[in-house]
Structure 1
Amino acid sequence: MRTVVGELGVGTMSLYRYVADRIRDAVTCHGAMIPLLLAHRHSSPGVMRCGEALLDILARTGLGPADRLIAYRALLAYLAGALAAQDLHPPHTDEAVGPNIPDGYPRLAQASAAGHAISPDDEFRGGLHLFLNGLRQPPSPVTGAGHVA
């Protein structure tokens, strides 16, 4: 991340906002395009250009090829899941969800209550922030690799 923000001459949060806003704005207008983007990610020149740009950014972070692929797929999964969930059931539209959680699920009730105070924008950006910060963690236990020295 430091490499990317250094090259762009922006702060880390500016990069988060830029990525979040660009991707989210494009997709939230047309929620049905999420499955199409995923289905054609290897055949659409536009989607492939976006994928290449993202992989290039990930390469500049020092991730090795296998961890870069894992990060790329994980980011796509987060974006697709978050945007699809918002399209199918926009957050904060059903204020009755919290009270309808049956006894025995205290963490769900607590999360639901907290969710009413979080805007959809903050929720999306917060998730993206947590994901991107996770890229700074030690090498992957899956690949045994990680950042290139």
Structure 2
Amino acid sequence: MPRPRSLHPDRLAEAALAVIDRDGLAGLTMRAVAAELGMSTMALYRYVADRSELELLVADWCLRDLDTSLPPAPQWTDQIKILVLRVRDQIGTHQQAVPLLIANRQRSRPLLRWAEAVTTVLDAAGFTGTDRVIALRGLVGYLNGALLQEHLGALGGTGTETIAAQTDFPMMRDTARAARHVSPEDEFAGGLDIVLRGLSRSGPAPAGPASW
């Protein structure tokens, strides 16, 4: 197959994401992406070194329009919530790519810009040193875990229905039945609110608005 005269990284990312959306993350191979682009596998290696580089391109592309500007809000916790929700909204329908965002969280420039915005808010709210490290890690841990959980199946999914039908664990049965009425959006935002309330109460920050 002839080599394209020019192949932009965005085109590579789009092709890789098309493979992931169609075949799942396990289907992402150099061969599959090359076929998606209509080129030979060897030709693809002229543009990316390996699958790891492809994965980073996908992570960056999924978050290419992520707004990392500091949102105006009355409370610093509101600012954090907006920043976190922006990540979930940006992923959109590409749930299969969520593990790539997590794996590349320390390499992806959009995610690093997002983390810079979050730590700026935390710093203004009074989190410094190890307090800021732990606060950031807690927020990132929730974000990653919640996105991965939603990727695997939201609260009211088929696994929950299985639990709701059994009798050996009555509390889990009743909780699973209640989960039928929880939307993925409410599940994500509700968990985030719990994390932010904990940060507000236990951290060094006042509950008032952030100052710059």
Does the CA contact (< 8 Å) of 1:41 and 1:47 recur in 2?
A: yes
Q: Structure 1, residues 93-114: CA drift from partner, whole Å, max 9, x if none?
A: 32632433342x2221121121
Three-state SS of the structure 1 residue aligned to 2:144 is: helix
Q: Which residue of 1 aligns with 2:131?
A: 67
Q: Which residue of 2 aligns with 1:25?
A: 89
User: Which structure 1 segments of 5+ residues have no match?
Assistant: 1-6, 140-145
Q: Distance in 1 between matches of 2:195 and 2:74?
A: 19
Q: Which residue of 1 aligns with 2:146?
A: 82
Please tell me whether Structure 1 or Structure 2 has the larger radius of gyration of its CA atoms: 2
Per mean C-alpha deviation after superposition, the further-off stretch among 83-92 and 50-59 is: 83-92
- 1:116 and 2:116 are equivalent in the alignment: no
Matches within 5 A, 1:1-149: 8-10=72-74, 15=79, 18-94=82-158, 96-103=161-168, 105-139=169-203, 146-147=204-205
User: Which structure 2 segments of 5+ residues have no match?
Assistant: 1-70, 207-212
How has the CA–CA distance of structure 1 residues 65 and 51 changed in structure 2, closer, same or farther, with 3 Å as cutoff? same
Q: Distance in 2 between matches of 1:40 and 1:67?
A: 24
How has the CA–CA distance of structure 1 residues 97 and 15 changed in structure 2, closer, same or farther, with 3 Å as cutoff? farther
Q: Distance in 2 between matches of 1:122 and 1:16?
A: 17
Aligned residue-pair number: 135
How has the CA–CA distance of structure 1 residues 114 and 12 changed in structure 2, closer, same or farther, with 3 Å as cutoff? farther
1:115 to partner: Cα distance = 0.8
How has the CA–CA distance of structure 1 residues 9 and 92 changed in structure 2, closer, same or farther, with 3 Å as cutoff? closer
1:15 to partner: Cα distance = 4.3
Larger RCO: Structure 1 or Structure 2 (Cα < 8 Å, ≥ 6 residues apart)?
1
TM-score by length of 1: 0.74
TM-score by length of 2: 0.54
Q: Distance in 2 between matches of 1:53 and 1:17?
A: 12
Q: Distance in 2 between matches of 1:71 and 1:86?
A: 22
Does the CA contact (< 8 Å) of 2:126 and 2:205 recur in 1?
A: yes
1:10 to partner: Cα distance = 4.3
Does the CA contact (< 8 Å) of 2:76 and 2:121 recur in 1?
A: no
Identity over the aligned pairs, expressed in percent? 30
Give the superposed CA RMSD: 2.7
